[in-house]
Protein backbone atom coordinates (compact mmCIF):
# COMPACT_ATOMS: atom_id res chain seq x y z
CA UNK A 1 0.00 0.00 0.00
CA UNK A 2 1.58 3.28 -1.17
CA UNK A 3 1.22 6.15 1.28
CA UNK A 4 -0.78 9.15 0.09
CA UNK A 5 -0.22 12.79 1.02
CA UNK A 6 -3.95 12.98 1.73
CA UNK A 7 -3.99 10.07 4.18
CA UNK A 8 -6.14 10.88 7.21
CA UNK A 9 -7.90 13.79 5.50
CA UNK A 10 -11.71 13.91 5.16
CA UNK A 11 -13.01 12.46 1.89
CA UNK A 12 -13.93 15.00 -0.79
CA UNK A 13 -16.63 14.87 -3.46
CA UNK A 14 -14.08 13.70 -6.03
CA UNK A 15 -13.31 10.64 -3.88
CA UNK A 16 -16.89 9.37 -3.89
CA UNK A 17 -18.34 6.55 -5.96
CA UNK A 18 -21.25 7.03 -8.34
CA UNK A 19 -23.80 4.73 -6.68
CA UNK A 20 -26.23 4.74 -9.62
CA UNK A 21 -23.47 3.86 -12.07
CA UNK A 22 -22.14 1.08 -9.84
CA UNK A 23 -25.62 -0.42 -9.43
CA UNK A 24 -26.17 -0.29 -13.20
CA UNK A 25 -22.84 -2.04 -13.75
CA UNK A 26 -23.98 -4.84 -11.44
CA UNK A 27 -26.85 -5.62 -13.82
CA UNK A 28 -25.35 -4.61 -17.18
CA UNK A 29 -21.73 -5.77 -17.19
CA UNK A 30 -20.93 -9.45 -17.74
CA UNK A 31 -17.93 -11.58 -16.79
CA UNK A 32 -15.84 -12.56 -19.81
CA UNK A 33 -15.65 -16.31 -20.38
CA UNK A 34 -12.14 -17.63 -19.79
CA UNK A 35 -10.94 -14.48 -18.04
CA UNK A 36 -9.57 -15.59 -14.66
CA UNK A 37 -9.94 -12.07 -13.27
CA UNK A 38 -13.70 -12.30 -13.83
CA UNK A 39 -14.16 -15.70 -12.17
CA UNK A 40 -15.60 -16.51 -8.76
CA UNK A 41 -12.76 -16.74 -6.24
CA UNK A 42 -13.39 -17.49 -2.60
CA UNK A 43 -10.93 -16.09 -0.08
CA UNK A 44 -11.70 -16.04 3.64
CA UNK A 45 -15.02 -17.89 3.26
CA UNK A 46 -16.22 -15.40 0.63
CA UNK A 47 -15.98 -13.93 -2.86
CA UNK A 48 -15.16 -10.24 -3.29
CA UNK A 49 -14.96 -7.97 -6.31
CA UNK A 50 -16.57 -4.95 -7.93
CA UNK A 51 -19.18 -4.57 -10.63
CA UNK A 52 -16.93 -2.23 -12.60
CA UNK A 53 -14.16 -4.83 -12.62
CA UNK A 54 -16.52 -7.51 -13.97
CA UNK A 55 -16.05 -9.75 -10.91
CA UNK A 56 -19.05 -8.87 -8.74
CA UNK A 57 -22.02 -8.77 -11.08
CA UNK A 58 -25.47 -10.27 -11.11
CA UNK A 59 -24.23 -13.42 -12.85
CA UNK A 60 -21.67 -14.08 -10.12
CA UNK A 61 -24.22 -13.82 -7.32
CA UNK A 62 -26.86 -15.90 -9.08
CA UNK A 63 -24.26 -18.62 -9.67
CA UNK A 64 -22.91 -18.49 -6.10
CA UNK A 65 -26.40 -18.58 -4.58
CA UNK A 66 -27.32 -21.59 -6.72
CA UNK A 67 -24.08 -23.34 -5.77
CA UNK A 68 -24.80 -22.74 -2.07
CA UNK A 69 -28.37 -24.00 -2.45
CA UNK A 70 -27.11 -27.19 -4.07
CA UNK A 71 -24.34 -27.70 -1.52
CA UNK A 72 -26.61 -27.27 1.51
CA UNK A 73 -29.12 -29.73 -0.02
CA UNK A 74 -26.34 -32.23 -0.70
CA UNK A 75 -25.24 -31.97 2.94
CA UNK A 76 -28.73 -32.34 4.36
CA UNK A 77 -29.02 -28.74 5.58
CA UNK A 78 -32.77 -28.23 5.40
CA UNK A 79 -33.33 -25.58 8.06
CA UNK A 80 -33.51 -21.85 7.35
CA UNK A 81 -30.75 -19.86 5.72
CA UNK A 82 -30.23 -16.56 7.55
CA UNK A 83 -29.31 -13.90 4.99
CA UNK A 84 -27.83 -10.55 6.01
CA UNK A 85 -26.36 -7.57 4.21
CA UNK A 86 -24.16 -4.63 5.10
CA UNK A 87 -24.33 -1.03 3.90
CA UNK A 88 -22.15 -1.20 0.77
CA UNK A 89 -23.94 -0.10 -2.41
CA UNK A 90 -23.63 -3.49 -4.10
CA UNK A 91 -25.00 -5.36 -1.10
CA UNK A 92 -28.62 -4.41 -1.87
CA UNK A 93 -28.81 -5.76 -5.46
CA UNK A 94 -26.80 -8.84 -4.44
CA UNK A 95 -29.21 -9.41 -1.54
CA UNK A 96 -32.13 -9.39 -3.99
CA UNK A 97 -30.36 -11.83 -6.32
CA UNK A 98 -29.72 -14.24 -3.45
CA UNK A 99 -33.36 -14.17 -2.32
CA UNK A 100 -34.57 -14.84 -5.87
CA UNK A 101 -32.38 -17.93 -6.22
CA UNK A 102 -32.84 -19.38 -2.73
CA UNK A 103 -36.62 -19.06 -2.88
CA UNK A 104 -36.66 -20.67 -6.33
CA UNK A 105 -34.75 -23.59 -4.84
CA UNK A 106 -37.28 -23.98 -2.04
CA UNK A 107 -34.89 -22.74 0.66
CA UNK A 108 -36.52 -21.12 3.67
CA UNK A 109 -34.83 -17.78 4.25
CA UNK A 110 -34.88 -15.51 7.29
CA UNK A 111 -33.95 -11.84 6.90
CA UNK A 112 -34.01 -8.77 9.14
CA UNK A 113 -37.43 -7.12 9.17
CA UNK A 114 -37.99 -3.69 7.60
CA UNK A 115 -35.18 -4.40 5.10
CA UNK A 116 -32.63 -3.74 7.83
CA UNK A 117 -28.91 -4.40 7.86
CA UNK A 118 -27.41 -7.36 9.70
CA UNK A 119 -23.86 -7.70 11.07
CA UNK A 120 -21.95 -10.94 10.55
CA UNK A 121 -21.95 -11.77 14.31
CA UNK A 122 -25.75 -11.50 14.37
CA UNK A 123 -26.04 -14.02 11.53
CA UNK A 124 -23.62 -16.34 13.33
CA UNK A 125 -25.59 -15.96 16.57
CA UNK A 126 -28.91 -16.67 14.86
CA UNK A 127 -27.50 -19.85 13.30
CA UNK A 128 -26.13 -21.11 16.62
CA UNK A 129 -29.27 -20.29 18.60
CA UNK A 130 -31.43 -22.07 16.03
CA UNK A 131 -29.22 -25.15 15.86
CA UNK A 132 -29.07 -25.53 19.65
CA UNK A 133 -32.80 -26.23 19.59
CA UNK A 134 -32.33 -29.34 17.47
CA UNK A 135 -34.18 -30.15 14.29
CA UNK A 136 -33.19 -29.20 10.74
CA UNK A 137 -29.88 -27.34 10.67
CA UNK A 138 -29.64 -23.67 9.72
CA UNK A 139 -26.83 -21.86 7.93
CA UNK A 140 -26.31 -18.33 6.63
CA UNK A 141 -25.11 -15.95 3.96
CA UNK A 142 -23.68 -12.50 4.62
CA UNK A 143 -23.42 -10.03 1.76
CA UNK A 144 -20.43 -7.82 2.55
CA UNK A 145 -16.94 -6.99 1.29
CA UNK A 146 -15.90 -6.31 4.89
CA UNK A 147 -13.84 -3.14 5.43
CA UNK A 148 -13.03 -2.72 1.75
CA UNK A 149 -13.83 0.37 -0.38
CA UNK A 150 -17.36 1.53 -1.25
CA UNK A 151 -17.15 0.22 -4.83
CA UNK A 152 -16.56 -3.35 -3.64
CA UNK A 153 -19.09 -6.11 -3.09
CA UNK A 154 -18.75 -9.41 -1.29
CA UNK A 155 -20.64 -12.54 -0.32
CA UNK A 156 -19.68 -15.18 2.22
CA UNK A 157 -21.21 -18.39 3.47
CA UNK A 158 -21.56 -19.50 7.09
CA UNK A 159 -22.28 -23.23 7.56
CA UNK A 160 -24.21 -24.64 10.55
CA UNK A 161 -21.28 -24.06 12.93
CA UNK A 162 -21.95 -20.33 12.54
CA UNK A 163 -18.40 -19.45 11.56
CA UNK A 164 -16.84 -18.83 8.16
CA UNK A 165 -16.91 -21.76 5.77
CA UNK A 166 -13.61 -23.61 5.41
CA UNK A 167 -11.92 -24.39 2.12
CA UNK A 168 -13.57 -27.81 1.89
CA UNK A 169 -16.88 -25.99 1.45
CA UNK A 170 -15.81 -22.85 -0.38
CA UNK A 171 -13.88 -24.75 -3.05
CA UNK A 172 -16.98 -26.78 -3.90
CA UNK A 173 -19.11 -23.64 -4.07
CA UNK A 174 -16.48 -21.77 -6.09
CA UNK A 175 -16.08 -24.58 -8.63
CA UNK A 176 -19.81 -25.05 -9.09
CA UNK A 177 -20.40 -21.30 -9.42
CA UNK A 178 -17.77 -21.07 -12.14
CA UNK A 179 -19.33 -24.06 -13.93
CA UNK A 180 -22.65 -22.23 -13.89
CA UNK A 181 -21.04 -19.05 -15.22
CA UNK A 182 -19.35 -20.99 -18.03
CA UNK A 183 -22.69 -22.56 -18.99
CA UNK A 184 -24.44 -19.22 -19.25
CA UNK A 185 -26.22 -19.86 -15.93
CA UNK A 186 -27.93 -23.01 -17.17
CA UNK A 187 -29.06 -24.81 -14.05
CA UNK A 188 -29.67 -21.65 -12.04
CA UNK A 189 -33.17 -21.57 -10.60
CA UNK A 190 -34.57 -18.09 -10.17
CA UNK A 191 -37.89 -16.36 -9.63
CA UNK A 192 -38.69 -12.65 -9.40
CA UNK A 193 -38.30 -10.80 -6.12
CA UNK A 194 -42.08 -10.34 -5.87
CA UNK A 195 -42.57 -14.07 -6.38
CA UNK A 196 -39.87 -14.84 -3.81
CA UNK A 197 -41.49 -12.61 -1.20
CA UNK A 198 -44.90 -14.15 -1.93
CA UNK A 199 -43.60 -17.73 -1.94
CA UNK A 200 -43.69 -18.23 1.81
CA UNK A 201 -39.98 -19.08 1.77
CA UNK A 202 -38.81 -15.60 2.83
CA UNK A 203 -39.59 -14.74 6.44
CA UNK A 204 -38.82 -11.44 8.17
CA UNK A 205 -37.77 -11.36 11.80
CA UNK A 206 -36.13 -8.99 14.25
CA UNK A 207 -32.63 -10.41 14.59
CA UNK A 208 -31.47 -7.41 16.63
CA UNK A 209 -33.16 -7.87 20.00
CA UNK A 210 -32.23 -11.54 20.56
CA UNK A 211 -28.61 -10.63 19.86
CA UNK A 212 -28.72 -7.65 22.25
CA UNK A 213 -30.28 -9.69 25.04
CA UNK A 214 -27.84 -12.55 24.48
CA UNK A 215 -24.85 -10.29 25.12
CA UNK A 216 -25.49 -10.56 28.86
CA UNK A 217 -24.81 -14.30 28.64
CA UNK A 218 -21.22 -13.77 27.54
CA UNK A 219 -20.32 -10.24 28.68
CA UNK A 220 -20.74 -8.76 32.17
CA UNK A 221 -22.95 -5.92 30.99
CA UNK A 222 -23.92 -5.05 34.57
CA UNK A 223 -20.28 -4.38 35.40
CA UNK A 224 -19.96 -2.08 32.40
CA UNK A 225 -23.09 -0.23 33.47
CA UNK A 226 -21.90 0.15 37.07
CA UNK A 227 -18.50 1.44 35.94
CA UNK A 228 -20.19 4.57 34.61
CA UNK A 229 -17.83 4.81 31.65
CA UNK A 230 -18.45 7.47 29.04
CA UNK A 231 -18.43 5.49 25.79
CA UNK A 232 -18.17 6.74 22.21
CA UNK A 233 -19.18 4.80 19.11
CA UNK A 234 -18.40 5.50 15.47
CA UNK A 235 -20.25 2.83 13.47
CA UNK A 236 -18.35 3.94 10.33
CA UNK A 237 -21.66 3.80 8.47
CA UNK A 238 -21.89 0.04 8.91
CA UNK A 239 -24.55 -2.57 9.54
CA UNK A 240 -24.62 -2.31 13.34
CA UNK A 241 -25.88 1.22 13.94
CA UNK A 242 -29.26 -0.02 15.16
CA UNK A 243 -27.49 -2.55 17.39
CA UNK A 244 -25.47 0.12 19.17
CA UNK A 245 -28.61 2.21 19.71
CA UNK A 246 -30.42 -0.72 21.28
CA UNK A 247 -27.39 -1.76 23.36
CA UNK A 248 -27.29 1.74 24.85
CA UNK A 249 -30.99 1.69 25.67
CA UNK A 250 -31.30 -1.91 26.83
CA UNK A 251 -28.31 -1.77 29.19
CA UNK A 252 -28.68 1.93 30.12
CA UNK A 253 -25.14 2.85 29.14
CA UNK A 254 -23.64 6.33 28.80
CA UNK A 255 -23.00 5.71 25.12
CA UNK A 256 -22.84 8.34 22.39
CA UNK A 257 -22.99 7.48 18.70
CA UNK A 258 -20.88 10.17 17.07
CA UNK A 259 -22.13 9.45 13.53
CA UNK A 260 -25.31 7.51 12.77
CA UNK A 261 -25.38 8.18 9.02
CA UNK A 262 -25.71 5.40 6.46
CA UNK A 263 -24.38 6.64 3.13
CA UNK A 264 -23.28 4.21 0.43
CA UNK A 265 -20.55 6.63 -0.66
CA UNK A 266 -19.13 6.65 2.90
CA UNK A 267 -18.46 10.36 2.40
CA UNK A 268 -17.95 10.87 6.15
CA UNK A 269 -14.78 8.74 6.18
CA UNK A 270 -11.20 9.93 6.41
CA UNK A 271 -8.90 8.59 3.72
CA UNK A 272 -6.79 5.52 4.44
CA UNK A 273 -3.01 5.37 4.06
CA UNK A 274 -3.21 4.99 0.28
CA UNK A 275 -5.75 7.79 -0.15
CA UNK A 276 -8.69 5.41 -0.62
CA UNK A 277 -11.94 5.37 1.32
CA UNK A 278 -11.72 2.20 3.37
CA UNK A 279 -13.66 1.45 6.56
CA UNK A 280 -10.67 -0.08 8.31
CA UNK A 281 -11.08 0.35 12.05
CA UNK A 282 -7.46 -0.74 12.62
CA UNK A 283 -6.09 2.15 10.55
CA UNK A 284 -5.16 5.40 12.29
CA UNK A 285 -5.79 7.24 9.03
CA UNK A 286 -9.28 5.85 8.47
CA UNK A 287 -10.04 6.34 12.18
CA UNK A 288 -8.89 9.97 12.23
CA UNK A 289 -12.41 11.23 12.87
CA UNK A 290 -12.89 9.20 16.04
CA UNK A 291 -9.32 9.80 17.16
CA UNK A 292 -10.01 13.53 17.09
CA UNK A 293 -12.73 12.92 19.71
CA UNK A 294 -10.71 10.63 21.97
CA UNK A 295 -10.55 13.10 24.88
CA UNK A 296 -14.35 13.22 25.05
CA UNK A 297 -14.69 9.55 26.08
CA UNK A 298 -13.19 7.04 28.48
CA UNK A 299 -13.34 4.48 25.69
CA UNK A 300 -14.46 4.70 22.09
CA UNK A 301 -15.09 2.02 19.51
CA UNK A 302 -15.58 1.58 15.78
CA UNK A 303 -16.42 -1.34 13.52
CA UNK A 304 -16.03 -2.26 9.88
CA UNK A 305 -19.24 -2.43 7.79
CA UNK A 306 -20.14 -6.04 8.66
CA UNK A 307 -18.99 -5.75 12.27
CA UNK A 308 -16.59 -8.68 12.48
CA UNK A 309 -13.73 -6.27 13.25
CA UNK A 310 -13.40 -3.59 15.90
CA UNK A 311 -11.12 -0.73 16.76
CA UNK A 312 -10.65 0.61 20.30
CA UNK A 313 -9.71 4.23 21.01
CA UNK A 314 -8.53 5.43 24.42
CA UNK A 315 -7.42 8.93 25.40
CA UNK A 316 -3.91 7.70 24.47
CA UNK A 317 -4.94 6.81 20.92
CA UNK A 318 -5.84 3.77 18.82
CA UNK A 319 -5.02 0.48 20.51
CA UNK A 320 -2.74 -1.76 18.47
- 146 belongs to the catalytic site: yes
How many angstroms separate the CA atoms of 61 and 44, rounded?
A: 17
How many angstroms separate the CA atoms of 152 and 93, rounded?
A: 13
Provide CB contacts within 8 A for 284, sequence distance 6+: 8, 291, 317, 318
Contact yes or no for 77/160 (Cβ under 8 A) = yes
Segment holding 110, helix H or strand E: strand 109-112
Helix/strand/coil percent split, the chain, to 5? 40, 15, 45
| Strands of 241-309, DSSP E | 254-257, 299-303
Comparing CA positions, the residue from 98, 91, 103 lying closest to residue 203 is 103
Catalytic residue among 50, 91, 97, 146: 146
Comparing CA positions, the residue from 304, 312, 318 lying closest to residue 121 is 304
How many angstroms separate the CA atoms of 139 and 130, rounded?
A: 9
Residues assigned a catalytic role: 146
Amino acid sequence: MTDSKRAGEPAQQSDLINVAQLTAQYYVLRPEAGNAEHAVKFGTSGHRGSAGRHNFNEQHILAIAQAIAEDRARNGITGPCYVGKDTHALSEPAFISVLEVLAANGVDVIVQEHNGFTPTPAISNAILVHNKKGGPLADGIVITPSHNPPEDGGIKYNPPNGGPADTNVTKVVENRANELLASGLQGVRRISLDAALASGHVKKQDLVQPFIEGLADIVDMAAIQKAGLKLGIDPLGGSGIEYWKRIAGHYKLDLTIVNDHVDQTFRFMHLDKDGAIRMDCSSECAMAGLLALRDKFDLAFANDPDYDRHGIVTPAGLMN
